[in-house]
């Protein structure tokens, strides 16, 4: 299974929590997870991946490799979001999306239909 990871932005904690609640109320769970961390570090996102429910059927080693590869290949992007998080203050999170490619494609197709 191939995965994709992307840092999306900075969000207030409550907004992210509400978004996660809305997603959890859907009857169909996609293979896409929205992750968050109080610190924009590789370790923080690896820890958040480890909380993904086993029902997803993900190969966590491959998902973690995807995040590590993103981190190493996108230093400027990581630096940008780390600075935005620091600018936003302590009541905010940096948000990322991790998912298998097929599920992400299906999610995008659903948006356009």
Average per-residue pLDDT for the chain: 88
pLDDT reported for residue 32: 85
Residue-wise pLDDT tens digits, 60-113: 999 999 999 999 999 999 999 999 999 999 899 999 999 887 877 777 677 677
Strand partners, 10: 94
Residue-wise pLDDT tens digits, 18-45: 888 887 776 566 678 899 999 999 999 9
- Spell out the residues 6+ positions from residue 1 whose beta carbon is closer than 8 angstroms to its own: 58, 59, 62, 100
Q: How many domains does the chain have?
A: 1
């Amino acid at each position: 299974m191939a995965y994709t990871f992307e840092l999306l932005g900075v969000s207030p904690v409550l907004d992210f929590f509400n978004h996660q609640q809305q997603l959890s109320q859907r009857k169909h769970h996609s293979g896409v997870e929205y992750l968050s961390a109080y610190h924009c570090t590789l370790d923080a996102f690896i820890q958040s991946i480890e909380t993904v429910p086993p029902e997803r059927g993900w190969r966590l080693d491959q998902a973690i490799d995807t995040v590590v590869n993103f981190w190493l290949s996108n230093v400027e992007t990581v630096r940008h979001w780390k600075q935005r998080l620091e600018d936003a203050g302590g009541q905010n999170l940096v948000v990322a999306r991790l998912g298998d490619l097929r599920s992400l494609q299906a999610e995008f197709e659903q948006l356009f239909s």
